[in-house]
C-alpha cells in the first residue's frame, strides 16, 4: 500500500489532498472545543494537523507516505516535528495508547485507495 500511495503522491495525483483541512472538521472544531492530545493517522499533507493545533489541540500527524509528510513539513514548517512518517498499525515507539483523541478524516479511504475514487 505505501508504495502505491507514494507513487501517487510523487506524481502529484494525491486526489485526497484538497489543499486545506476538511470543512466538516473545521466546522465541528469551531462549534465544539476539543482539547488534549490527538493523533491524526493518514495526515497526508498536514492540513488537519495544522487545524487541530490552531484550535488548541496537541496534535501529531502520522502518515505512511514520506512524500506527503515532506510536503506537509514544507507547508507547515512550525509543525514539522508533529508530522511523522509511520504506520498506524505498527506505530513508532511511544505512540501506542498515547493519544486519547483520533482524527480520522478519510483514513480508511486511504487504506484502500484503489476503491476511494468512487466515494
| pLDDT tens digits along 11-42 | 777 666 677 788 888 888 888 888 888 888 88
* Predicted structure pTM score: 0.75
Q: How far apart are CA 77 and CA 96, in angstroms?
A: 25
| pLDDT tens digits along 89-102 | 888 788 877 776 66
Number of domains in the chain: 1
- State which residues form the domain around 28: 2-116
Q: In a 10 Å sphere around its CB, with 0-12 CB exposed, 13-18 middle and 19+ buried, how is residue 64 labelled? A: buried
- Structure confidence at residue 102 (pLDDT): 67
- Structure confidence at residue 106 (pLDDT): 52
Element (H, E) at 96: none
From first CA to last CA, the distance across the chain in angstroms is: 19
Q: Is the pLDDT assigned to residue 6 strictly greater than 70?
A: no
Residue pair 72/83 in contact by the 8 Å Cβ criterion? yes
- Structure confidence at residue 110 (pLDDT): 45
Say which CATH number the domain at 67 has: 3.40.50.150
Strands 58-63 and 101-102, by their bridges, are unpaired
Amino acid at each position: 500500500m505505501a508504495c502505491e500511495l507514494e507513487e501517487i503522491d510523487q506524481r502529484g495525483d494525491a486526489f485526497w489532498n484538497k489543499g486545506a483541512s476538511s470543512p466538516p472538521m473545521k466546522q465541528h472544531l469551531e462549534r465544539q472545543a476539543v482539547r488534549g492530545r490527538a493523533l491524526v493517522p493518514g495526515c497526508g499533507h498536514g492540513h488537519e494537523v495544522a487545524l487541530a493545533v490552531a484550535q488548541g489541540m496537541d496534535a501529531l500527524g502520522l502518515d505512511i507516505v514520506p512524500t506527503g509528510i515532506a510536503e506537509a513539513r514544507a507547508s507547515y514548517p512550525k509543525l514539522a516535528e508533529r508530522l511523522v512518517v509511520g504506520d498506524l498499525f505498527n506505530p513508532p515507539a511511544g505512540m501506542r495508547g498515547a493519544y486519547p483523541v483520533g482524527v480520522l478524516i478519510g483514513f480508511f479511504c486511504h487504506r484502500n485507495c484503489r476503491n476511494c475514487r468512487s466515494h
